[in-house]
Chains A and B, each alone.
Chain A
């Protein structure tokens, strides 16, 4: 009974936040004198209106869910991993390189590419954890800065050494992957690929891990009260490795999934301009780091984005209305994040430096 209640509560929060966002959007639409009902109908249609749009939304949700789950796990342990974008970029790049250059049967290359993407994303995230543990570099800042390094590095790689020189286009991108290493599509003619299944499985797995495993228990206690965890013999260093590695690996998987399932190559800026990493962080914060809630929030955020495109296609309402909704959500989420962050800082200060 309690588990069900908690799960429902975890899912309720993002829904309520999105509703508040929609109300704010409605006010904006009224102000510019358009019909709220029509606009939102178009939005709904753009997101869920047909099987095509639905699968489109789910495709977009896939990387958001995966990065969101990673962030959720790190947050639960009390580590503010803001580096999902960079971890995703490097994971995607590594998957593309593996897909291009690894010999062997297609299915094997595909699996290896996913795994390599996870490992690289995980290590990049762990690097920030290492700097925190070893040199006391603030994780929030290091993970943010590592995003730039990762994006610029990947940009360089696809502009020079790995650049696709077959076509005439001057795009910074790798060559196209062979079709047999692509992630299979779930329905023919639709964009939705097997990465979505992985995302759903990951949500369930992370839920079980956090709420039912012993390691997940220790991670939660560490995030709740690090002093209590230390007193009880939870090893902070080991938990940090587990949390940061898994968190980065999920972001890496998100990147690899995009490369193998949607882009079929690594295209500079494709992962960063869509802001999957930030949407993932938003999904997590909306859902208070509950894994299932994060998945739901990921789909809602994707729906807002695809729905907004529908609005733009079919009405005169400017795309900025969607920005109003997003901005409201961001505000909501920032307040929450600021609160969490300050609370932790304050606790650390008050409690001295024994740990």
Chain B
């Protein structure tokens, strides 16, 4: 098979830090090449160089056998390389068609030809087996559709090699299946993919070849047929992983009790939350499953005080906190790993140290000033315990890899020492090792008598950790299952709005 793209001896340094060292990597026509490795291994960095967002310190990049130097993404696009980023970059108030043709709009005279854009986009979607409604606003679409739109956009730009950086992180299992099927279909039509993911079963399902990266160095490269998940994780982590599991527990009194919460939607639309009641006891993990956009985010915002409910009550740790300010709710007993680490969970421009201080202001206050030396000491412990890769505590958070920022946020919230924890997508974007660590910490907390509300699009995560599982659909609790009863099929059915079978 012809080699489309090749990296030869690529090294990337940030100051003294080597993010990539002597990388040899290639992509052939029509293949799906998976790139795996721990958080901070240097996967995104590698792709940013291929896409012209960074320039290598040393080494060569070849496209169709000819050496290229990309100074910005538009040059990479012209050479047929497209990238879908770890975080979606669609304009929520634009239609899907507008989002796709942006930068290459069809014109009628001097004006943007909306109709022909929509036609083109519809035709594109059908040709590649990823149909979408071109007139819909991006912000109104489920994440699976937004993901499709991102890929179609790259195809519209004429890409032959498509880089997908953790495309499945935010998708539900059903959406993941569809996505993998779609890219396999595209590969059969001759498109090539570089697929970055932390989920090895996805790698095994979709990839033709696998490259493993550890600490910026390639530790293995093999055909998917010749390997298995265990070998890959050994190459990634350099050690065996311990499996842990839930032990049956005796839950205590209620730490969170919410009753009949109602939250109206916009005019004429359905309520965002419709009569939601649930409770979490001490020593219990309650999982909330559901396709994203069915009220989970709003529910968490109501509980944590970021949004006022129109009706209903929230009781936390024995006190009514309905509509109370966030700070009061946190002091009353809330810790919160938020679902979107960049929007809610961190400040990109601030240092790692400042990001770690949030929620701990009182603890590290000394005569009105921040006691930075104590904070440093405590945060160095987090860095050790969660293996957070960062230049130093004074590095800006935007330079952390996605997974490492997630670990930092998790560490910060675990350290709040509160009896109730919201864990929303707690392991999004973290590698298998860190996932075990965070799961272990959650179970440990629970054994120690804390109550945890776990929201996750990962069904396996929900099934592994939860004592009880609630499924949300269109702003309501569509069903409740105990850990013993729950199966993946049953939950999926409830998630899709089906009735529960008994």
- Footprint of B on A, CB under 8 Å? 2, 208, 212-215, 217-218, 220-221, 224-225, 227-228, 230-235, 349-351, 354-355
Contacts and interface: CB of A to CB of B under 8 A. Distances in A.
Interface of B: 92-93, 301, 304, 306-307, 325-327, 329-330, 336, 338, 343-350, 354, 357-359, 361, 365, 368-370, 372, 394
Contact of B325 (A208, A233, A355): A233
A225 B348 contact: yes
Nearest to B329: A233
Contact of B344 (A217, A227, A349): A227
A2 B396 CA distance: 12
B271 to A, nearest CB: 17
Nearest to A222: B347
B326 A232 contact: yes
A340 to B, nearest CB: 12
Interface centre among A208, A214, A231, A234 (most CB of B within 10 A): A231
B347 A213 contact: no
B222 to A, nearest CB: 41
Nearest to B366: A214
7 contacts: A208-B369, A212-B369, A214-B368, A231-B338, A232-B326, A233-B330, A350-B92
B347 A225 contact: yes
B307 A233 contact: no
B424 to A, nearest CB: 11
B417 to A, nearest CB: 15
A72 B188 CA distance: 57
Q: 8 smallest A-B Cβ distances: which pairs?
A: A233-B327, A232-B358, A224-B347, A233-B326, A225-B347, A231-B344, A2-B394, A228-B347
Contacts of A2: 394
B366 to A, nearest CB: 9
A214 B369 contact: yes
Given A218-B361, A230-B326, A233-B325, A354 B394 contact: no
A231 B359 CA distance: 9
Contacts of B301: 354
Contact of A231 (B304, B349, B394): B304
Nearest to A211: B370
Given A214-B361, A221-B358, A225-B348, A231 B368 contact: no
A212 B350 contact: no
A214 B361 CA distance: 7
Nearest to B368: A213
B101 to A, nearest CB: 20
B307 A235 contact: no
Given A224-B349, A230-B326, A231-B358, 9 more contacts: A2-B394, A212-B370, A212-B372, A213-B369, A221-B350, A227-B344, A228-B347, A235-B325, A354-B307
A215 B367 CA distance: 12
A214 B357 CA distance: 10
A221 B370 contact: no
A234 B370 CA distance: 15
Interface centre among A232, A235, A355 (most CB of B within 10 A): A232
Given A233-B326, A233-B330, A228 B368 contact: no
Given A224-B349, A225-B348, A354-B307, A214 B325 contact: no
B336 A231 contact: yes
Contacts of A224: 347-350
